[in-house]
Chains A and B, each alone.
Chain A
Amino acid sequence: MADSLANRVAVRDRTVVAPATPVRARRSRARLVPLLYTAPALLFYAAFVIAPWLHSLWISFWDWNGIGVATWAGLDNYREILADPALRLSLVHAFGLILFYSVIPICFGLVLAALVANVPWKGMPFVRTVIFLPQILPLVAVGSVWKLFFDDDGPFNALLRAVGLSDLTRAWLGDFTWAYPAVGVVGTWVSTGLCFLLLYSGIGKIDPALYEAARLDGAGAIHEFWHVTVPGLRREMSVAATVTVIAALASFDVVYVMTAGGPGESTLVPGVAIYRLTFTAGQVGTACALAVVLSLLTCAVMFALNRLTREKT
């Protein structure tokens, strides 16, 4: 299917040839036409994404405060990322967020989708509308909502007090232990609806004959879930994982608004660290090195997920 349009254009090139121009020259020109259509988009992409990324790579080899003269630093900035506990921690935090942004939402979504799949309900459109809502909201506003929710005097503590758990109340976002999971929960809140709807639509595409066969073999609901539903959703799960993992590693908005990386460094993520290094610490070289490391790690994870699912199908 991918080449059908290309082949059709190719056929036309062979049949309609102007007698004046040599066949070969005309054909090679026609072959270049698609490239011309693609060029403007690629130009913008190269100028505002690829070029800045390469520039980031270049800056990462220099010791530069953003204003003064830069001195060559070789790989020093990268060594600093490995040596500096805070920067190392930021990368660990980014990967830890995968649990909140990807693993938990996919598990929730999977169970929910499997439960709901065969029970039609009039209320479903409403549920779908609400559950998808977090996907379209500005993440800053989402962070703001949850910052207020977890505030010392906010609704969450009020809720705990109302059910008699006032011992548990605390300033969640100011707590060295609890700030990180509190920030993570927001990721779960944002991703779960997306994962659920992806998997829900995937279940509809599983061949009903597989379920019938399983039932004829006397399989129970649990057996069906593990042996028909889960394998049948491998593609949707890998898509959900890819999208949410990228979001987890690139998280900035929510953390910046809720805790700005604090207290201490307990919620520091690479995005916030890059911002701090550039605009408050004046270590632009290190910031760019961290940016390079983050993007390479993201691409590596995406590649691994891609490979993982391709091998199995």
Chain B
Amino acid sequence: MIRSMTRLSLLAATASVLVPFYAIVAASLQPQDNLSPGLAWPSDPQWHNYVDAWSTGGFADLMRSSLIIALGVVPLALVLATLAGYGLAMMRLAVRGPIFALLMLGLALPYESIVIPLYYDLKSIGLLNTYWAVILPLIGAFMPFGVFWMRSHFESLPPELTEAAEMDGATSRQILRQVLLPTARPALTTLGLLYFMWAWNQFLLALILIQDPAMRTAPSGLGKFIQAYGRNIPLLSAGTIIVIVPVVILYLFFQRHFVKGILSGAIK
């Protein structure tokens, strides 16, 4: 009895996540002149809607831009977060506390509170409307999470690991490269995937700091697409699915990393 009740409640929770998706997929396959798609599966699925959405929404360019921005952010952000995580883990200066507090603030700061000055600052140095306008601020904004993430990885290692190297008089750089980095691969993979997903999904910064629609991230492009084709529900649904699919595929492949990263990242 209890057993079936728990299963039922879990299934209900699962269904509530899936129903909107089902509705949107069904809607995306309706004929484009159908203004009230409802819930029924279309009798004659219009796969062509996806081709139309792809070309009218310019999603080829948008995906490429999203990819450029994500790939621009991830490597540099990983290197900086690793170095700083290691630095914080071995730091015993009095500034450690203030640095911590400053980074903590960054975890709570909404993008809304920095994007307007960024717009004018980047404009004045000529970086507005370039991929850098989103890449550079994202690296900065990603630092608090990544630094804390890498720091807690380095501090979770057993002391014996570095002691031998220290006895031999290895420098901190040698210890980091030869002893610590080989242990960090899973932590770095998780962090890299999260960075990639957050950069790919970025909306507000791309919307404001890049004015050329083709250079925006896929979600920002979707935002504009929705405004432009408000009444064409099948086309909009198809566009939405197009933007969702790449992230979902990535998620299904690396599910463990995403779940672990977001859950334990939140706890730290």
Determine if A106 is an interface residue (Cβ-Cβ < 8 Å). no
Asked whether B2 lies within 8 Å of A119 as measured between CB atoms, the reply is: yes
Interface residues of B in 117-145 (CB under 8 A from A): 117-121, 136-137, 139-141, 143-144
Determine if B258 is an interface residue (Cβ-Cβ < 8 Å). yes
Contact of B108 among A124, A141, A298 (CB under 8 A): A298
A158-B258 contact given A53-B109, A136-B247, CB 8 Å threshold: no
Contact of B83 among A37, A141, A271 (CB under 8 A): A37
A287-B116 contact given A9-B172, A130-B14, CB 8 Å threshold: yes
Interface residues of B in 1-28 (CB under 8 A from A): 2-3, 5-7, 9-11, 13-14, 16-18, 20-21, 23-24, 26-27
Q: Is the interface of A mostly helix, strand, loop or mixed?
A: helix
What are the interface flags for B144-178 relative to A under an 8 Å C-beta threshold, 1 for contact and 0 otherwise?
Answer: 10110000001100010011001101001000000
A32, chain B: closest CB distance, angstroms: 8
B96, chain A: closest CB distance, angstroms: 8
Stretch at the interface among B42-50, B184-192, B216-224: B216-224
A260, chain B: closest CB distance, angstroms: 8
Cα(A46)–Cα(B17), bound, Å:
39
What are the interface flags for A121-135 relative to B under an 8 Å C-beta threshold, 1 for contact and 0 otherwise?
Answer: 101101111111111
Contact residues on B (Cβ < 8 Å of other chain), bracket: 35 or more
Determine if B60 is an interface residue (Cβ-Cβ < 8 Å). no
On chain A, the residues within 8 Å of B13 by CB distance are 108, 112, 127, 131, 192-193, 196
On chain B, the residues within 8 Å of A97 by CB distance are none
Determine if B69 is an interface residue (Cβ-Cβ < 8 Å). no
Contact residues on A (Cβ < 8 Å of other chain), bracket: 35 or more
Asked whether A148 lies within 8 Å of B236 as measured between CB atoms, the reply is: yes
Asked whether B39 lies within 8 Å of A148 as measured between CB atoms, the reply is: no
A278-B116 contact given A5-B154, A45-B103, CB 8 Å threshold: yes
Cα(A36)–Cα(B95), bound, Å:
13
A239-B266 contact given A36-B87, A274-B116, CB 8 Å threshold: yes
On chain A, the residues within 8 Å of B121 by CB distance are 51-52, 55
Determine if A257 is an interface residue (Cβ-Cβ < 8 Å). yes
Contact of B89 among A5, A198, A256, A291 (CB under 8 A): A5
Leading 5 A-B pairs by shortest Cβ distance: A37-B87, A48-B140, A153-B36, A250-B110, A41-B84
Task: Give 16 pairs: A residue, B residue, CB < 8 Å, sorted on A.
Answer: A5-B89, A41-B83, A41-B146, A42-B99, A49-B137, A56-B116, A116-B9, A129-B255, A130-B14, A138-B243, A153-B35, A153-B233, A154-B37, A154-B38, A198-B263, A250-B112
Name A's B-contacting residues (CB within 8 A): 1-12, 16, 31-42, 44-53, 55-56, 59, 66, 108, 112, 115-116, 119, 121, 123-124, 126-141, 144-149, 151-155, 158-159, 162, 189, 192-194, 196-198, 201, 235-236, 239-240, 242-243, 246, 249-250, 252-253, 256-257, 270-271, 274-275, 278-279, 284, 287-288, 291-292, 294-295, 298-299, 302
